[in-house]
């Protein structure tokens, strides 16, 4: 005789899933991973933009020299105030002729200088697509923006007065902190944060218009620094570089 034993086994299906805590941990880990990847990329993009802007500023300085060699003077800044006195010049020097400038400090006249990096209105741009600023000395009866004006005064008596300092100071741009005290022109970018609120004392000093003879240039600082945030990139034109170029071109004797 054979005896058969029948056994029934009930299979229970167990469902597996993520709890909210586990999901949160996954998101945190992903956030760390993305930060590790994106931050270096952002830093690389910033460095690339900074290097490109520095190259643009160098080109702008040589364009100013070339303009002076051709016209015997420097161009005036472009303006963009939208008024009868300071109209929108669409990237053209104001006035686009020999003589006194409507504003000593304004925008770099990209169209007048024939630069390539321009916006739709003809203003020169940096790598962050912000308009470059420009200032020119107005000493010696506007000799530097007047055709043959420098010759009429004589090189020995010319006294360009634009100063570039390492920091702003209540006592002014003293010999201890100035980088140059006789620049004929200053060109600068407002940096990556140009569309944000203005920085501290150093950035605000550069933004003074329509007349400004003292500018600030130093390494990048944050809002926590003594004089606040600063990321402007500044270059300037030495009078001796300008004089030599104009003498070579026969524009200065």
pLDDT in tens, 126-147: 999 999 999 999 999 999 999 9
Q: What is the pLDDT of residues 57-77, one digit of tens each?
A: 999 999 999 999 999 999 999
Q: Note the pLDDT of residue 171.
A: 57
Mean pLDDT, to the nearest integer, of 233-241?
A: 97
Mean pLDDT, to the nearest integer, of 217-241?
A: 93
Give, as one character, the DSSP assignment of residue 77.
P
Is residue 13 scored above 60 in pLDDT? no
Residue 84 phi, psi dihedral angles, 5° rounding? -65, -35
User: What CA–CA distance (Å, rounded) separates 203 from 213?
Assistant: 14
Q: Which of 218, 245, 232, 46 is nearest to 132 (CA)?
A: 232
């Amino acid at each position: 005789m054979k005896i058969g034993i029948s056994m029934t086994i009930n299979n229970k299906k167990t469902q597996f899933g993520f709890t909210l805590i586990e999901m949160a941990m996954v998101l945190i880990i992903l956030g760390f991973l993305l930060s590790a990847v994106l931050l270096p990329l952002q830093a690389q993009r910033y460095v690339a933009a900074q290097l490109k802007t520095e190259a643009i500023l160098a080109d702008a300085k040589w364009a100013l020299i070339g303009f002076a060699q051709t016209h015997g003077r420097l161009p005036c800044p472009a303006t963009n105030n939208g008024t009868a006195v300071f109209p929108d010049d669409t990237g053209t020097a104001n006035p686009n002729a020999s003589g006194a400038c409507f504003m000593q400090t304004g925008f770099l006249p990209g169209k007048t200088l024939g630069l390539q990096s321009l916006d739709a209105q003809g203003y020169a741009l940096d790598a962050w697509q912000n308009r470059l600023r420009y200032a020119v000395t107005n000493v010696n009866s506007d000799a530097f923006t007047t055709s043959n004006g420098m010759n009429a005064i004589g090189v020995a008596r010319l006294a360009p007065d634009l100063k570039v300092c390492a920091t702003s100071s209540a006592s002014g741009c003293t010999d201890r902190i100035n980088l140059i005290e006789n620049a004929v022109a200053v060109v600068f970018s407002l940096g990556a944060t140009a569309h944000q609120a203005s920085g501290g004392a150093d950035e605000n000093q550069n933004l003074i218009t329509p007349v400004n003879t003292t500018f600030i240039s130093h390494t990048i600082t944050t809002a926590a620094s003594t004089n606040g945030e600063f990321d402007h990139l500044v270059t300037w034109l030495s009078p001796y570089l300008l004089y030599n170029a104009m003498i070579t071109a026969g524009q200065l004797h």
